Amino acid sequence: MRRPSFLRVLLFVLAVSFSWSSWGAPPDARQGEKLFKQNCSACHKLGARLVGPDLLGVTERRDAEWLIKFIQNSQALVKSGDKTATALFEKFNKVVMPPQPLNEDQIRDILAYIESGGSASSAAAAGGAAASSGEAPAVDVSLSPLQWIIIFTLLTIILVLVGRAIEWAYRSRGKTFHWEKASPYLWVLWGIAWALFIGWQLVNYTKDLRITTGSVEGAEIDFLMKINIYTTLVIYFIVHVFLFYFLFRYRHREGKRAYYYAHNNKLEVFWTTATAIPLVIMIIYSMTVWQRIMGDPGKADEEVEVFAYQFGWKFRYPGPDGKLGKFNYRLIDPVNNPLGLDFDDPAAQDDIIVDELYLAKGKKFKFHLRSRDVIHDAWFVHFNMQLYAQPGMRNSLMFTPQITTDEARKMRGKPDFNFELACNQICGAGHFNMQRNIYVLPETEYRAWLAKQTAFYQTVKDKLQSTKTAAAQ
């Protein structure tokens, strides 16, 4: 290696090391600008109102600690009875701001950018002033995927430099270092290290595969996925064991040469058959599972309509008659009749409309999916089920919840865990808001909750009556 190349590598290592030494630094407005564009710009601007409020000057109007709590989980503040959070929620038409996957330091970076008025360079000086005050934020020691890549890159560079150093040491003594003799042993060491790394990943990143799926039908899909993963994993290890073995077995040796032949019909038939058989088995099993779930689902215990719109969900339950009433797209009124129910149909007059989905454990639910505007994808995240909601069509999906929300919280060790419904189709600028909680209850609690709900038609009548009374007064 020539000297300039070595200097470039050394400068790169020093630059990366210097950037890492900045962990735990005061709020960085430049970093905040990047985070703002990634997480906030879809709904917020500085100096103008978008989907959400104008954020310019928000650091003067609100306390930093309150802002951190609100950004991390606004609905938790609303449910706790916080007056400011509740007022904002009501003011912006109850549009839910989803929890943001940001730690406290990242939010402080965003606030520093907002405080600068959108100028990251001017906020850099403000960050320096905060550092001089002696106030140090909490340090997040968790590593991001990018940081893992940097670590792997640095280790690779170090290994290359060590190898070159060995080569230079041999040259300084007038000897030649034969890489063709050393490389097979290095490949074996590399193969062992790689196998250990893959094993560590399997232990640490397959925890979700060991968690019980939320629905009976989803568990079948989950089992199918596990078969695919474990089959692929076995083949992956077999192939790599042979790969590293051949690298060592046929290493360079003086006076020996490996036999080479271009073609072998028996070998071709063997590995074609060996790969085709498990593939055909998995395809047939996959088609069987899908047909069992979607082909002839049979009669459901309960029916619920899932109505998608930009940017949210509404859920309609049948009333005491057990039937979902008729609807008409021409009757849709975002305020008074968001689902376009036909109130001339008696079956529609006792239907219930709510903003969150409640289900009963052990009951088979049939979901009727509709969309008001664009294509949305109803993804029941923890139930392994999803289907499109399309304008002008009514699609149906069935599954049976098999664990309650409380049971899921105990299994996962997360007291705040909730099942989720999300949109898996990018449906516009407010797509991030297409998330709702799903609460699975024991049947008795589910029936009690359903009995407390008021028919939407009665709500409309009461609203019209109060409007007429106010107008008369």
Write out pLDDT tens, residues 425-458: 888 888 888 888 999 999 999 999 999 998 888 8
Task: Say which range, 4-8, 105-109, 161-165, has the weakest mean pLDDT.
Answer: 4-8
Identify the pLDDT of residue 473. 63
Domain ranges of the chain: 24-132, 182-295, 302-470
Residue 134: the pLDDT is 43
Question: Percent of the chain, pLDDT > 90?
Answer: 17
Integer Cα distance of 35 and 114 in angstroms: 11
Q: What is the pLDDT of residues 174-203, one digit of tens each?
A: 887 777 777 888 888 888 888 888 888 888
Which amino acid appears at position 244 of this protein?
F
User: Of residues 209 and 137, which shows the higher confidence score?
Assistant: 209
Amino acid 314: pLDDT: 92
> Which one has a higher pLDDT value, 271 or 206?
271
Question: Does pLDDT of 308 surpass 80?
Answer: yes
pLDDT at 464 over 50: yes
Q: What is the largest CA-CA distance in the chain?
A: 109
Cα(470)–Cα(473) distance, rounded to whole angstroms?
A: 5
CATH architecture of 24-132: Orthogonal Bundle (1.10)
Answer yes or no: is pLDDT of 21 > 50: no
Q: Count Cα neighbours of 413 within 13 Å in the Cβ-side half-sphere.
A: 3
Does residue 225 register a pLDDT over 70?
A: yes
- Amino acid 145: pLDDT: 64
Tokens encoding 334: 């975002």
Burial of 132 (0-12, 13-18, 19+ CB in 10 A): exposed
- How far apart (Å, rounded) are the C-alpha atoms in residues 305 and 459? 19
Tokens linked to 343: 């109130």
Q: What is the pLDDT of residues 44-60, one digit of tens each?
A: 777 777 667 778 777 77
The pLDDT score that the predictor gives to residue 185 is 83
CATH class entry, domain 302-470 = mainly beta
- Under the banding of pLDDT at 50, 70 and 90, the label for residue 421 is very high
Using CA atoms, how far apart are residues 356 and 314, in angstroms rounded to an integer? 7
Give me the residue label for tokens 């076995």: 234
Mean pLDDT of the region 13-22: 46
Helix 104-115 vs helix 29-39: angle between axes, to the nearest 10 degrees? 100
The arithmetic mean of pLDDT across residues 250-257, rounded, is 79
Residue 406's φ and ψ, nearest 5 degrees, are: -65, -40
Residue 254 confidence (pLDDT) above 60: yes
The pLDDT of residue 98 is above 70: yes
Q: Can you give the pLDDT at residue 127?
A: 44
Whose CA is closest to 314, among 434, 194, 452?
A: 434
Euclidean distance between CA atoms 352 and 456, whole angstroms: 5
Average pLDDT over residues 11-34: 58
Query: Contact, 355 vs 436, CB < 8 A?
Result: yes
pLDDT in the model for residue 138? 40
Give the neighbor-by-neighbor strand order of the sheet with 385-389.
357-360, 435-441, 419-423, 376-380, 385-389
User: What does the pLDDT look like over 144-160, one tens digit per residue?
Assistant: 667 778 887 888 888 88
- Across 215-247, b (16+ Cβ under 10 Å) vs e yields bebbbbbbebeeeeeeeeeeeeeeeeeeebeeb
Q: Which of 15-19, 153-157, 226-230, 334-338 has the lowest mean pLDDT?
A: 15-19
pLDDT tens digits for 101-139?
777 878 888 888 887 776 654 434 444 444 344 444 444
Average pLDDT, the chain: 80
